[in-house]
Amino acid sequence: MRLVHTLWRFTPLLLLAVVWEAVSRLGLVSEFALPPFSDVVTAFSRLADEGLWEHTAQSLYRGATGFACAVIVGVLAGVLMAWYRPVHILVNPLLRCLYPMPKSALIPLTIMWIGLGDNSKITLIFIGCLLPVVLSAFNAARGVDQVLIWSARSMGAREREVLWEVVVPAAMPEILSGIRISLALAFILLVSGELIIANNGIGYLIDILGEGGDYAGMFAGVVTISTIGFFADQGYVALTRRILAWRE
């Protein structure tokens, strides 16, 4: 039953692959713009032996580190901002400056400051992913029902306990949706950072394959990272559902 359900969910993707193959083979679009799906699959299996996984692993390391730091720092900062006025006064102006800034504009800057290695990508992802997390944590923590806090206090909870035992769990649904936005952003920033300048990573691989005219290979890289992004999001949604099982 479940299997059937899962298969159904992937039907549109299968259909997409079929249509893709067809339009390319029938010459409806140029092979350069869209190499046939089967060519991409072939390129994929070739690249799999030629460092695709190493590049991917490198990228995922960067993405995961930047994203994880953003989640931890973001939740802490957002909740503390909502709870302690001085933190709000200190952090809020920074957020206001950072908010409208296109994060990809930071790519050259992080490279200039930190260099070509992992840390510049991690920093970029960290900064970019931070905002949605901080903002959702801040808004959620500020919006927690006053009476829940009172009720904990009247049962003898101290201020710090109220923060971690009441405010954070009450804010969790909203925090988790902020984190989901960051998860998608992490992939965007990761690939664009590597596309612009890097020594390795999946973005870098896509870039050099494209420049070398290996369009099927390039597509294989794009499909790989997109697929990983898709499953990361699905996994995240499943995790969220587990954490928020109390909602229904």
Partner 1 sequence: MTSRTPPAETPSSGGISIRSVCHEYRPARGRPVLALDNIDLEINDREFVAILGPSGCGKSTLLYLLGGFMPLQQGGISVGGRDITGPGPDRGIVFQNFALFPWKTVRQNILYGLEKQRLPKDERERTTRHFIDMVHLTGFEDSYPSQLSGGMKQRVAIARTLAINPDTLLMDEPFGALDAQTRSLMQEELLAIWNRSPTTVVFVTHDVREAVLLADRVVVMTARPGRVKKIIDTRFEGGMNAEIAKSRPFLDRVDEIWDLVREEAIVAGSAGAG
CB 228 within 8 A of CB 60: yes
Judged by CB under 8 A, the residue of 41, 98, 169, 195 near partner 1 is: 169
Q: Interface with partner 1 includes 145 (CB under 8 A)?
A: yes
Judged by CB under 8 A, the residue of 70, 130, 131, 170 near partner 1 is: 170
Q: Interface with partner 1 includes 50 (CB under 8 A)?
A: no
Taking the least distance from each CB to partner 1, the nearer of 130 and 167 is 167
Q: Interface with partner 1 includes 11 (CB under 8 A)?
A: no
Taking the least distance from each CB to partner 1, the nearer of 150 and 231 is 150
CB 161 to partner 1: min, Å:
8
CB 39 within 8 A of CB 17: no
Distance, in Å, from the CA atom of 215 to the CA atom of 211, rounded to the nearest integer, reads 9
Q: Interface with partner 1 includes 153 (CB under 8 A)?
A: yes
CB 116 within 8 A of CB 149: no
CA-based nearest residue to 205, from 193, 194, 216: 194
Q: Interface with partner 1 includes 139 (CB under 8 A)?
A: no
Taking the least distance from each CB to partner 1, the nearer of 68 and 148 is 148
Q: Interface with partner 1 includes 189 (CB under 8 A)?
A: no
Taking the least distance from each CB to partner 1, the nearer of 22 and 244 is 244
Judged by CB under 8 A, the residue of 166, 185, 186, 225 near partner 1 is: 166
Q: Quickly count: other Cβ atoms within 10 Å of residue 209's Cβ.
A: 20
Q: Interface with partner 1 includes 75 (CB under 8 A)?
A: no
CA-based nearest residue to 40, from 206, 208, 214, 217: 217
237 Cβ neighbours under 8 A, 6+ residues apart: 180
Quick one: how far is CA 178 from the chain centroid? 11
Q: Interface with partner 1 includes 171 (CB under 8 A)?
A: no
Taking the least distance from each CB to partner 1, the nearer of 92 and 151 is 151
CB 176 to partner 1: min, Å:
12
Taking the least distance from each CB to partner 1, the nearer of 211 and 248 is 248
Exposed e or buried b per residue across 102-136, where buried means at least 16 C-beta atoms within 10 angstroms of its C-beta: ebeebbeebbeeeeeebbbbbbbbbbbbbbbbbbb
Helices 106-114 and 168-196: angle between axes, nearest 10 degrees: 80
What is the binding site for partner 1 (CB under 8 A)? 145, 147-148, 150-157, 161, 165-166, 169-170, 172, 245-248
